Amino acid sequence: MTPLYVARPLLPPLEDLTELLGEIWSSGIVTNEGPLHNRLEAELAQRLNVPFAKLFNNGTVAMLCALLSLDLSPGAEIITTPLTFAATAHAIAACGYKPVFADICEDTLTLDPRAVEKAITSKTEAVIGVHVYGTLCDVEGLDRVCKAHDLKLLYDAAHAFAAMQGGTPVGTMGDLSVFSLHATKLFSTFEGGLVTSNDEGMAQRLRLARNFGIMNEERVAVVGINGKMSEVHAAIGLLNLKIFEEERDIRRALRAEYDQVVGRLPGLRAQIKQPGVKQSEQYYMIIVDPQVYGATRDEIYDALKEREIFSRKYFWPICTDFDCYKNFTIHTVHDAPVSNNVKDRVLCLPFHSGVEAEHIAAVADVLTELHCTRREPSVSKVG
């Protein structure tokens, strides 16, 4: 059995890429909003059913540009969840703003609107919800809080490419949604990012933010950086756009298989299923209750690793465990933050088209064995 990782990059056929590279070599246009870049933006806007889609060189730079395009006050506070990839909080801090952490809901593990409300101060100017593991935020709840307090509402949709809630495409939620198109993502350009919005003015500001604030040869209007995606990465995107749905279908079937395994084992629960939501199929996440299951998340991780199956402790450490945010509060409506309670219990299993039947069987073996062997001594102790 070959070693297995949580994610595997989607690779388009190399012959097809070589053909598109030929186009680039002929035109001599290798970056700066070239023809393939513009074609990919148009195709993504159509595919994601959003009015405006702007490409970036990666998801973090996309978030930086999104924040720049909001023109917030120096030192503004931005509320987000601690249960997210480092990029969310770091993008806030790298711009000189202050990340403020609010707790998550127990079921979805996404930002709790009630906790957001508790975290608001006179300096708060924006909220970033994260559709973590592809589970969608309480979009209505966050919208209500942000409208009531006149805050910008952004979504980190890195895990939620092409997700839908009822008839609502994920990219149309809030003021804007930021996607990562990194190699680990369902749809990828190897390195890449995307911001979607319903608002044309916002789309124009995003475009300025990613190209040095340059309006034209004679005028630089605002602070901007370089967020441009090259033609080579755009070419990869055009090709992967044709095949990512097939990958998603395979993952959907894989989810059902994992669900069967996890469903049999007390103390393990899979990521929540949201009614009416079409999942991105980005991650397969389980939550471990060690008291009931008989072993900890870390023990599962180690046991899988012994079989060369590399799961990930996503997300641990959480942002408030980082050296740079160590003394930051997690604002919560509970006695203790849910975030701190779940961070040691979540685990993402390998989830992509490279996961074969033998891998699933091996995962099932490990999970079942750990449960059974650990339960016994505990039972005998009681006896």
- Write out the residues near a copy of itself by the rule CB under 8 A: 8-9, 11, 14, 17-18, 21-22, 25, 28, 30-32, 57-61, 64, 68, 74-75, 85-87, 90-91, 93-97, 182-183, 190-191, 212-214, 217-226, 228-233, 236, 313, 317, 319, 321-324
Report which secondary-structure segment, H or E, holds 242. Answer: helix 231-263
Pick from 202, 153, 195: nearest CA to 174: 153
Concatenated DSSP letters for 106-158? TTT-SBPHHHHHHH--TTEEEEEEE-GGGPPP-HHHHHHHHHHTT-EEEEE-T
Q: Which is nearer to a copy of itself, 265 or 300 (CB)?
A: 300
CB of 100 to a copy of itself, least distance (A): 15
**C-alpha to C-alpha distance for 10 and 13, rounded to whole angstroms:** 10
CB of 164 to a copy of itself, least distance (A): 27
**C-alpha to C-alpha distance for 177 and 375, rounded to whole angstroms:** 44
Q: Which is nearer to a copy of itself, 62 or 145 (CB)?
A: 62
Q: Which is nearer to a copy of itself, 11 or 333 (CB)?
A: 11
Q: Which is nearer to a copy of itself, 42 or 94 (CB)?
A: 94
Q: Which is nearer to a copy of itself, 97 or 155 (CB)?
A: 97
99-126: burial string, b at 16+ Cβ within 10 Å, e else = bbbbbbbeebbbbbbbbbbebbeeebbb
CB of 118 to a copy of itself, least distance (A): 25
Name the residue type at position 24.
I
CB of 35 to a copy of itself, least distance (A): 14
Residues 260, 253 contacting (CB under 8 angstroms): no
End-to-end CA distance of the chain: 40
Q: Which is nearer to a copy of itself, 123 or 375 (CB)?
A: 123
CB of 59 to a copy of itself, least distance (A): 7
CB of 140 to a copy of itself, least distance (A): 31
